[in-house]
A and B are shown apart, each in its own frame.
Chain A
């Protein structure tokens, strides 16, 4: 019985854990994007490849 339960957990637990991680990621993403933050301009750029990708004030 124990081995059947363990086998079930090893197989289905992987799918369930992945689902949980995706849900947590979406919650985090929505939380980050709902925070009211100033969108700033970039820092100094060496001019090598263009502009900043990041948004000021968004660092964790």
Chain B
């Protein structure tokens, strides 16, 4: 226990130190929300990778693979494809004008403050649900590491996260993401050889896995349609989630974005593949677990030597924190920058704005943990919550963003109906549709049909709305 305390104590001290450093380097809203737009490829790629790699990877993915087998792993290939699409197709036009948030982009492209308010509200609600899933995972880890009740663990993680995110904003998030990514990479790189040795080598690992679960190396673990549509959800969501789009604004130019994205692809997919191998080891070592979500914490606690186990748990914690801090930035900006400052109090001074920004993050950080403490949002497998969030973001924003920079005829009416229709279709399918198809497919199709159909039926956008994104045309 004392070793865990030392490792985690040192980790938290570094994180707080970065928060304090960032406070001194944040002078305006551009610093607070997009780190001044000056990130190089290493920091930009690292924050992209750390944000993408969440408790969903370390707890959720391993949980699903533990249950359904290796075929789920093929979904990871949707990530490099999605990031290539972002770097090659979307970013060159999306970043023509640097904004601070996704709703601010939508307002500029669709010449409507209402669109900005609507998108901010969708982001706010969906992000809070996603943060909840990550906080549940954090509570589980605190329970395993320190033996504290899960609820106290959830509160502790939230307090630590808020401490550095509120004071340091995006600059703090970027630097802590870098540190957290290094810890994650070290954790899995050191854990995989030890876990393989524990099961007497790779060949024996395959044999044992086949014996314990014969479906592991077949395509039968998940229905093909579900596998395909989950891959679509990962792919569309990797492009259209606001916390990733905003990082394009945080990097300084297109060359930096291309390199940063390559770095992110290598790290995200590499870490995922190593985690998948750990999931195979967990199938052999812990064939009967009450939930797959416990597989990774069990490896850290029962398989690895104490020092490495503590590092692995710190890696899982890093994954969770690096995602939640980015989501806090997105949700906080939606509340304070896009809703409050845009609709309620547009005339605030720069100092007041940064103060409201900090307050926004504090408020949205407290809501998920308060909901969890009252019993709302507990019980789902982490990875399925992650997938639902991804499906919601993809259904709401993929079409308005991508068509927004490629189709002059896209209108605010089309974008608004695409967002609302996409979200409703996703929810309805999740509630009443067959489980063999991920909700992203109906959500995306409805969003696309409404975007195109309603845009064609409504008056074309005014010329001034298109000048920034379609110059000369």
Hey, which bits of chain A sit against chain B, CB under 8 A?
A: 3, 6-7, 10-11, 14-15, 17-18, 21-22, 25-26, 28-29, 32-33, 42-46, 48-56, 58-60
Contacts and interface: CB of A to CB of B under 8 A. Distances in A.
B254 A48 contact: no
Interface stretch (B81-89, B171-179, B283-291, B318-326): B81-89
Contacts of B30: 49-50
In this complex, which of A7, A48, A55 has the most chain B Cβ atoms within 10 angstroms of its Cβ?
Answer: A48
Contacts of B436: none
Contacts of B71: 10
A44 B219 CA distance: 51
Contact of B218 (A10, A46, A49): A10
Contacts of A11: 70, 206, 217
A59 B89 CA distance: 7
Given A11-B217, A22-B265, A49 B100 contact: yes
Nearest to B89: A60
A15 B468 CA distance: 42
A43 B468 contact: yes
Contacts of B34: 49
B92 A58 contact: yes
Instruction: Among A10, A22, A32, find the residue whose CB has the most chain B CB atoms closer than 10 A.
Output: A10
Given A53-B95, A55-B254, A21 B77 contact: yes
Interface of B: 29-30, 33-34, 36-37, 70-71, 73-74, 76-77, 80-81, 84, 88-89, 91-100, 104, 108, 206, 210, 217-219, 248-249, 251-255, 257-259, 262, 265-266, 269, 273, 467-469, 471
Contact of B217 (A6, A15, A46): A6
A50 to B, nearest CB: 5
Contacts of A15: 273
Which 3 A-B pairs give the minimum distances between C-beta atoms? A53-B95, A7-B217, A49-B100
A29 B266 CA distance: 14
Nearest to A57: B92
Contacts of B266: 22
B219 A10 contact: yes
B93 A54 contact: yes
Contacts of B96: 42-43, 52-54
A28 B88 contact: yes
